[in-house]
Amino acid sequence: MIDRYSNPGIARIWSLEEKYAIWLEVELAVCRAWQRRGLFTADELLEIEKKAAFDVARILEIENTVQHDVIAFLTNVKEHIGPAGRFVHYGLTSSDLGDTALCLQLVRSIDIIKERLSALIDCVREAALLYKDQVMVGRTHGIHGEPVTLGLKFAHFYAELLRDQERLLRAREVVAVGKFSGAVGTFSNIDPDLEEEVCSILGLKADPVTTQVINRDRHAELMSTVGIVAGSLDHMAQEIRLLQKTEGREVEEPFASGQKGSSAMPHKRNPVICERICGLARVIQSNVQVAYRNMPLWHERDISHSSAERVVLADSLIALDYILTKMIYVVKNLHVYPENMDRVLGLTRGLIFSQRLLLSLIDSGLEREAAYDIVQRLSMQVWEQADRSLRELADQDSEVQERLSAHRLNEVFDIAPFLRNVDAIYQRLRLI
């Protein structure tokens, strides 16, 4: 992922320097396990541990000749260690090292993302509570429906993000595995107990059965989860963008001092952060398809997955961490305009009460079809006559007057009943 959309902490995990550092961490853990089994002496292990090192530039130089990154790495490490270096990578194949180290990179990235997601959940929870009673119009198909509250919108996001948190924990468990089962996964030159010991040292579980590689259904499940979390952020960002439209301007993403919105139009305050979140979510979700295609490999292993996942795994995790950070900033600093919400709520001049009027006519004894026809007829007049309200037309309609008293109409055109169960929803979510 380009620097523009990267946070340093997670980007470092996917740097060449850190990848080789993790490779060395894995190889040294295997060496310690072999030494405990008497393959070589404690003094030789001490020499390996003391001298083990690598140089990225030298590895790349060697790789340019051998055309194999693991061999290049091992060659450079042995250059540093000397004769005892012959025990490094003993009994292993390249995928034992690469796949186990990759899972460590994935787990460490997920741990960073978990913290970001937890911080966002806290921000969204706070917003849900702060705006619990801030009434605004709810929309279906983009058209005004009935009143909701801004807090309820955040309550929806809160519940979705909690599900994302559970998904991420499951995905972490799925990829927190290692393998040291050799060339085609049969433990021909290494024993399963050594695999279990080394994986435990590294904070992983031994994959119960592998080919030469850890099967990529694990990585695909992680990527599916990453795509879903990105979709949740896309959902939130798109809602803010829609509510920021000039016609309503009910909320607005933060606009920093000195920020400029357009090179041509000085008045512009564009939702560029939310648009960036939506755009990067598309990249992440497109990458999920690559993870699915990496699942079927030839027989015990090919490397058609390798080049693809070097791009999509790092890019997706780094991008997700980045857009989580941006969404935290947006939610924490969101501009909210209650006066605009009140204005927008009244734009359709009472049409938001059409269902309550329908139900009241049904309660009065009228058949549903007849009641619907009356309310729809009055509603169409409101749409067509810019100076009329639904309440005004109801007051003047003989069929409505015959059925409903003035007191009952006052109850019909009251916002409070729409929101009488908001507390119940919050209690379900344990927000209050």
Domains and CATH numbers, the chain: 1-90 (1.10.275.10), 93-252+268-347 (1.20.200.10), 351-412 (1.10.40.30)
**Catalytic position from the list 262, 286, 304, 405:** 262
255 by Cβ neighbours in 10 Å (0-12 / 13-18 / 19+) ranks as: middle
Instruction: Enter the pTM of the model.
Output: 0.94
- Which H or E run includes 251? strand 251-252
Alpha-carbon distance of 350 to 379, in angstroms, equals 9
**Catalytic position from the list 141, 267, 299, 407:** 141
For the ranges 25-34, 259-268, 405-414, the lowest mean pLDDT is seen at 259-268
The one-letter code for the residue type at 103 is C
Angle between helices 304-332 and 272-293 (to 10 degrees): 160
235 is an active site residue? no
- Checking if the pLDDT of 304 tops 90, the result is no
- Checking if the pLDDT of 56 tops 90, the result is yes
DSSP of 73-91? HHHHHHHHH-GGGGGTTTT
Cβ–Cβ < 8 Å for 22, 104 = yes
Taking only the tens place, the pLDDT of each residue in 109-140 is 999 999 999 999 999 999 999 999 999 999 99
* Helix/strand/coil percentages in the chain, nearest 5: 65, 5, 30
pLDDT at 284 (0 to 100): 98
Residues 311-336 have a mean pLDDT of 98
pLDDT class of 256 with cuts at 50, 70, 90: confident
Residues 395-402 have a mean pLDDT of 95
- Tokens matching residue 253: 């993403």
For the ranges 168-177, 260-269, 385-394, the lowest mean pLDDT is seen at 260-269
- Checking if the pLDDT of 1 tops 90, the result is no
262 is an active site residue? yes
pLDDT at 262 (0 to 100): 84
100 by Cβ neighbours in 10 Å (0-12 / 13-18 / 19+) ranks as: buried
**In percent, how much of the chain has pLDDT > 70?**
100
Residues 283-292 have a mean pLDDT of 97
- Tokens matching residue 73: 């790495």
Tell me whether strands 177-178 and 205-206 are parallel, antiparallel or unpaired. Answer: parallel
pLDDT at 285 (0 to 100): 98
pLDDT at 193 (0 to 100): 96
Residues 406-430 have a mean pLDDT of 95
Alpha-carbon distance of 155 to 145, in angstroms, equals 19
